[in-house]
Amino acid sequence: MLRWYVATPPVLALIAVGLTVSRTDWRLADLVKFLLLVCCGMISVACTPRIAYSGGGMTRDFVTVWVLPAAILLPPVYAVLMPIPLLALIQWWVHRGIVYRRVFTAATISVGYFCAALLFRAFPASIAGGSVGSGLHALTWAAVVALCEIVGGRGHHFLIVGAVKLSDPSAKMRNLEWNREALQGDFAEFDLAVLITLVLAISPVLAVFAVPTVLLVRRFMMHAQLLAQSRIDAKTGLLNVSTWEKEAEGELSRAIRTRSPLAIGLVDIDHFKSVNDTHGHLVGDRVLRAVATALRSQLRDYDRAGRFGGEEFVLLLAQTNEGDARRVAERLRKYVAAMAVPIDDRPDAPLVRLTISVGVTAIPSGASRELSDLLAAADSALYHAKQTGRNKVAVAAPAEAGAELGVGLGGQAEFARVDPAGPSLCPAILLSVLNSARTARGPVWGKPPPTASQPR
């Protein structure tokens, strides 16, 4: 089904080219206007930051603001041809995407704006026509152009949405299409397309003034994406260290103020080094992303998951007591243990099996602890889980001098005394967070991370 869906727009675009080429009255003025639009569009594309395409999903790059003028002011064949050089430049210069997806996108734009061109020409000259005119005619002309942009822009957009949904039925299109940034981007793209068409209808030379406007608007629209990129770990899509620490401090303060429970969990992938040594670091990256996806799928929207570096992850579970946190961690452990991560995209690719160890701690309602206390207890629990066989969930109570530790595995529990100043699995940056937070009282975490000879 997906293959047929993806193949249909290119076929329709080729049919549209075949139908319009023989019926077009080729004129030099139209060709010059087309080349001017192509040059403006290519300048806009070449200035597009690569980060605009790095996040995946639906990218609003404002390419279509240059296609609508071609559909309205030039013969329909130019509307079909216009996306080709622009999408080719994106593929060659800006971002090397998957080729068939780029072809599909170009074809959907061609088909959508070919329909828009035909719709515009279906209106009588008294309402639309080849020139803007003045008075009431200018108003009706702009209204028809806006209608054509809805047909062309929304039409090709919904074709792409359909392909995304077919390729990933679990994708939540409401989150992609109806959030504030997406709606603002759609409105800005619609507005720019209509205004540029109106300006070019008055004088094609004015196109040179439209380019800076498009660049400025797109830069403004990317602010939210740039802000998100500064918060996210690029490899896993989880919160980075500094962002997680900041949000965790805020959640902890809120829990203490409202006398609510809160839990912290540290997650470590067992034998991760052997994955890198056996299959290579690219496969190791796939494993990291798979575990990150598992964390997101098993946690609530208001929980916080971050990556601290290497194969370590950290969780903050709001409104969660120790018993619930242990059950969440156990569910996550079983979920990861049942996963099989392919080493590449081949259907018959070998699979990598993996397990995780989890250290959990929590503060009950009405208690007060510092974030460093919770991280210290969770790390001690994690170390105990790793030392006693891995693929386990360990629970420790945050304490100053020692902690009573319970290790859960298959419904059984064993208890041990744990020294918070003992060996640690924390990455160096987490140790820095803990020690800096306790400088006033003297560092508790004085020992370095485990050496290469210590089991992980």
Tens of pLDDT along 325-376? 999 999 999 999 999 999 988 888 899 999 999 999 999 988 888 999 999 9
Among 311, 312, 322, 330, the one annotated catalytic: 311
- Identify whether 311 is a catalytic site residue: yes
Tens digit of pLDDT for each residue in 228-245? Answer: 777 888 889 899 988 999
Tens digit of pLDDT for each residue in 114-173? Answer: 999 999 999 999 999 888 988 899 999 999 999 999 999 999 999 998 998 888 787 777
The burial of 387, by beta-carbon neighbours within 10 Å (0-12 exposed, 13-18 middle, 19 or more buried), is given as middle
pTM higher than 0.85, yes or no? no
